[in-house]
């Protein structure tokens, strides 16, 4: 009886002790391991080869430095939320690489003084960098009131247009990329003509086919590329070199109106799928792969890269023979297209306890031979931010087809990066511009015209006003 009573009054203490150990234990374990473990959050690759290449790099780093690398892969949409939550809660990884870092993390959290200043690392790597891609990480810190490098750019994507050559051949239209008309109206008219011809030829098969897979949705970041590329074609600018809003200047307002009017007319013309205003980033890819659209503008080479790995097409006929990548057309003024690149960037949070080791890890990742292996594993989806890596013959030649065919995709992207007027997206100029992109205000303006039937002037003015309001919020 006495033993039972003794046990009874000890039980709460035992329960409390167990609870305390359960709560504190993991923390103690974490403390013991701190300094020996590098936590790396990496964007899950589109292809298993990318992840395998990064795992190999992490293993090599562990072996060389006698440390543990806790490497985890997360899909881009989820990783952005994970990084955002970590930075807000100040429980951060040591290194984080997300495809959305460049426009949704670096400008905002650099401004908030929550990212490590990596200017020393950038200075060391500078001779290797493509200078145009470097500025994306040179953002303002609102605490120090100075710009510095708060990220390490590693690879980029830019605008390409893909189309089905075999569909054009089917209706006797010229399918050679060199022979597609590149003048603004002729270019867009060409895909409209293809839609008409295909629907006429076989209405049962192509009755619901559309010529132009233009994403115009607030859900998709592709919309930003489409708008900004078209705005450049119409010679419009949103910010000056210091990050001040100049969208309301008459010349730029006019260019914005023309751009929005063009998108509105394109949508209502019946040559863009009606659901394009509701597409997410993958929907134009899906529409293209299922051949329900003839062409689509798409940032990055994800569409051809996906066809390259298509298991149902072992001869890679789609990649080498049935589809092609071409440039954005010349502007309405006849000038060659100017391009925008989104430069994907690694960050080291300021709250990381292992900043030195984190920098060492990034330095290790971007060593030329190692980084070439990694970036090539993405099958040309990304273009390296380092000139020495970009000198590899792969970027100019691409893959060789099983019948000796030339690569119709990777060299086109390389030509855009190396031979065309190309600049980084301008979110780095001001963190408010990052919010402009987040809110997708230009996608909203497109919807105002296409769905709500607003006049382009009214939609443009609403968007410009919203842009100015957002910028005014950053003091």
Partner 1 sequence: MTTRLLHNRTFHGFMFSAPLLVLFGAFVIYPMGFGIYYALDRDSYRALFGDPTFRQTVWNTVWYVGVAVNVKLFLALLLSGILDYPYRWIRILSALFLIPWAIPALPGILSFRWMLNSQWGIFNHLLTKFGLSSVPWLAQHDTALGAIMVFHIWKYLPFWTIIFLAGRRAIPNELYEAAAIDGAQPVQNFRFVTFPLLRNLYLICTLLSMVFTLGDFTVPWLLAGGAPGDSTHVLATLAYRYTFHMGRLEWGMATFAVALPVTLFFIFLLLRWVKI
Q: Which residues of the chain form contacts with partner 1 (CB under 8 A)?
A: 8-9, 11-13, 15-16, 19, 23, 80-81, 84-85, 87-88, 104-105, 108-109, 208, 210, 217-219, 273-280, 287, 292, 435, 438-440, 443-444, 446-448, 450-452, 462, 466, 469, 473
Closest CA to 107 of 145, 79, 149, 76: 149
Query: Does residue 114 contact residue 349 with C-beta atoms inside 8 Å?
Result: yes
Q: Smallest distance from the beta carbon of 351 to partner 1, in angstroms?
A: 15
Report in angstroms how near the CB of residue 139 gets to partner 1 at its nearest: 14
Nearer to partner 1, 13 or 419 (CB): 13
Provide the minimum distance between the beta carbon of 166 and partner 1 in the complex, in angstroms, as a whole number.
20
Q: Which lies closer to partner 1 via its Cβ, residue 219 or residue 396?
A: 219
For tokens 């023309």, name the residue.
258
Contact 349, 358 (CB under 8 A): no
Complex with partner 1: residue 187 or 279, whichever CB lies closer: 279
Check if the beta carbon of residue 109 is closer than 8 Å to that of residue 115.
yes
With contact defined as beta carbons under 8 Å apart, do 133 and 149 qualify?
A: no
CB nearer partner 1, residue 280 or residue 405: 280
For partner 1, give the closer residue by CB, 16 or 29.
16
Minimum distance from residue 113 beta carbon to partner 1 (Å): 14
Q: How far is the CB of 207 from partner 1 (least distance, A)?
A: 9
Of the pair 51, 248, the CB lying nearest partner 1 is at: 248
Q: Which is nearer to partner 1, 383 or 454 (CB)?
A: 454
Smallest separation (angstroms) from partner 1 to the CB of 446: 7
Give the contacts of 294 (CB within 8 A, at least 6 positions apart).
163, 164, 167, 168, 191, 194, 195, 198, 209, 210, 211, 212, 213
- Which C-beta is closer to partner 1: that of 150 or that of 308? 150
Of 41 and 308, which has the nearer Cβ to partner 1? 41
Task: Identify which of residues 289 and 338 has a Cβ nearer to partner 1 in the complex.
Answer: 289
**Least distance in Å: CB of 293 to partner 1?**
9
**Could you tell me the smallest distance in angstroms from the CB atom of residue 85 to partner 1?**
8
Is the Cβ of residue 194 or residue 447 nearer to partner 1 in the bound state? 447
Residue 405 CB, nearest approach to partner 1 (Å): 31
Number of neighbouring beta carbons within 10 Å of residue 66: 7
């Amino acid at each position: 009886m006495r033993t039972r009573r003794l046990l009874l009054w000890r039980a709460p203490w035992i329960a409390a002790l167990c609870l305390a150990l359960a709560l504190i234990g993991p923390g103690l374990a974490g403390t013991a391991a701190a300094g020996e473990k590098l936590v790396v959050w990496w964007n899950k690759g589109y292809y298993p080869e990318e992840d395998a290449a990064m795992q190999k790099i992490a293993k090599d780093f562990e072996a060389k430095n006698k440390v543990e690398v806790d490497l985890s892969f997360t899909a881009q949409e989820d990783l952005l939320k994970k990084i955002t939550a970590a930075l807000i809660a100040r429980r951060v990884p040591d290194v984080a690489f997300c495809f959305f870092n460049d426009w949704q993390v670096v400008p905002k959290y650099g401004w908030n003084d929550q990212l490590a200043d990596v200017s020393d690392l950038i200075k060391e790597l500078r001779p290797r960098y493509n200078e145009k891609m470097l500025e994306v990480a040179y953002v303002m810190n609102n605490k120090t009131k100075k710009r510095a490098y708060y990220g390490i750019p590693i690879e980029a994507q830019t605008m390409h247009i893909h189309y089905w050559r075999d569909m054009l051949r089917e209706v006797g239209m010229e399918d050679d990329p060199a022979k597609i008309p590149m003048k603004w109206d002729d270019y867009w008219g060409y895909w409209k003509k293809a839609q008409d011809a295909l629907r006429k030829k076989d209405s049962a098969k192509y009755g619901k086919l559309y010529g132009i897979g233009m994403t115009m949705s607030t859900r998709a970041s592709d919309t930003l590329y489409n708008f900004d590329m078209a705005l450049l074609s119409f010679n419009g600018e949103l910010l000056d070199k210091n990050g001040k809003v100049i969208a309301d200047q008459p010349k730029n307002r006019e260019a914005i109106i023309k751009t929005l009017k063009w998108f509105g007319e394109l949508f209502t013309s019946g040559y863009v799928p009606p659901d394009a205003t509701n597409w997410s980033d993958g929907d134009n890819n899906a529409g293209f792969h299922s051949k329900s659209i003839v062409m689509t503008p798409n940032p990055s080479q994800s569409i051809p890269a996906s066809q390259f790995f298509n298991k149902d097409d072992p001869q890679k006929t789609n990649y080498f023979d049935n589809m092609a990548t071409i440039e954005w057309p010349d502007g309405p003024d006849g000038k060659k297209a100017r391009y925008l690149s989104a430069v994907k960037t690694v960050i080291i949070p300021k709250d990381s306890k292992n900043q030195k080791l984190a920098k060492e890890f990034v330095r290790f990742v971007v060593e030329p031979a190692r980084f070439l292996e990694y970036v090539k594993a993405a099958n040309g989806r990304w273009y390296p931010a380092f000139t020495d890596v970009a000198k590899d013959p792969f970027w100019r030649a691409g893959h060789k087809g099983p019948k000796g065919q030339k690569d119709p995709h990777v060299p086109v992207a390389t030509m855009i990066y190396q031979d065309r007027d190309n600049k980084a997206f301008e979110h780095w100029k001001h963190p408010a511009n990052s919010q402009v992109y987040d809110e997708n205000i230009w996608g909203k303006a497109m919807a105002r015209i296409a769905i709500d039937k607003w006049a382009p002037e009214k939609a443009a003015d609403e968007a410009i006003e919203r842009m100015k309001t957002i910028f005014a919020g950053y003091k």
